[in-house]
Amino acid sequence: MIPDLCVVRGGGDLATGVVWRLTRAGWPVVVTELASPLTVRRTVAVSTAVTDGCVEVEGMVARLAVSPEAAVELARAGEVGVVVAEDLPPVGADVVVDARLAKRVLDTTIDDGRLVVGIGPGFTAGRDCHAVVESLRGHHLGRVIWRGAAAADTGAPGVIGGRGADRVVRAPARGAARWRVAIGDTVEEGAVLGAVADVELVAPFAGVVRGLIIDGAAVAAGQKIGDIDPRAEPSTCHEISDKALAVGGGVLEAVSAWPDRTS
């Protein structure tokens, strides 16, 4: 029996946890992404296939496809097919997961697939989708909600190694992001990371560069463009986060418990 096809909208690091869990369970997965991804944790994101052609994350290979049909072929062959598409491609997916983390409903509807799963704030199960997976760190992270909504967006980054909002590097102005460091580098407090519009960006504390938006990306003032990890463990830069795996587990639970799977 050929497994059902799943389309995951968004290829960022959290979405990659979803894709990784699904593929490990045998699901063929197609991922849709923007032509210019805004991912920060690029070493653990399938969206990197858009810029690099191919990326491997913890043994999972994601490859850029020239069309939705070619992406499906890659998915059926055991890889993750990534396609540049702002709209949901008409590939007959049984399951659609909106993992774009827009904090609001964009264009996903409950009729997009036999099972539609929304991740995080903005989605209400039974109205916008069939199930919602909680993305807020805490006691309910990764839980599946079959009726109701996920917690509202707090606007505050999760705490890692005792650091919260200060671990996030944001663009000080509109312009192109240019980096002097790379993901995985160890930096000291005050070290120059790069610049946007000739305004230097410095490390807020000592740690490891966990993520950087792609060099040369056009960014808006206030946009998240980098992430410093105070735990100073370079290996974590190449590992899917606990949060992404928890959310991915919730999505896998939703598709496994899906009552119409065998109908």
Question: 185-236 pLDDT, tens per residue?
Answer: 999 999 999 999 999 999 999 999 999 999 999 999 999 999 999 887 899 9
Q: What is the pLDDT of residues 106-150, one digit of tens each?
A: 899 999 999 999 999 999 999 999 999 999 989 999 999 999 998
Mean pLDDT of the chain: 92
Domains, the chain, in order of start with CATH, read 6-153+242-257 (3.40.50), 165-230 (2.40.50.100)
**What is residue 3's three-state secondary structure?**
coil
> Do residues 99 and 108 make contact, with C-beta atoms less than 8 angstroms apart?
no
Q: Amino acid identity of 235? A: S
Q: Do residues 166 and 217 touch, judged by C-beta distance below 8 A?
A: no
- Residue 145: in which H helix or E strand, if any? strand 144-145
**Residue 103 confidence (pLDDT):** 84
Residue 112: count of CB within 10 angstroms of its CB: 19
C-beta of residue 150 within 8 angstroms of C-beta of residue 121: yes
Query: What is the pTM for the complete model shown?
Result: 0.91
CA–CA separation, 119 and 30 (whole Å): 17
How far is it between the farthest Cα atoms of the chain?
A: 59
Contact 83, 89 (CB under 8 A): yes
Following DSSP, what letter does each residue of 64-118 receive, concatenated?
Answer: E-SSHHHHHHHHHTTSEEEEE-SSPP-S--SEEEE----SS--S--TTSSSEEEE
* CA 222 – CA 243 distance, rounded (Å): 24
Q: For the segment 51-106, what is each residue's pLDDT rounded down to a tens digit?
A: 999 999 999 999 999 999 999 999 999 999 999 998 999 998 999 999 998 888 88
- 65 vs 39: CA distance, rounded Å: 19
pLDDT (tens digit per residue) in 166-192: 789 999 999 999 999 999 999 999 999
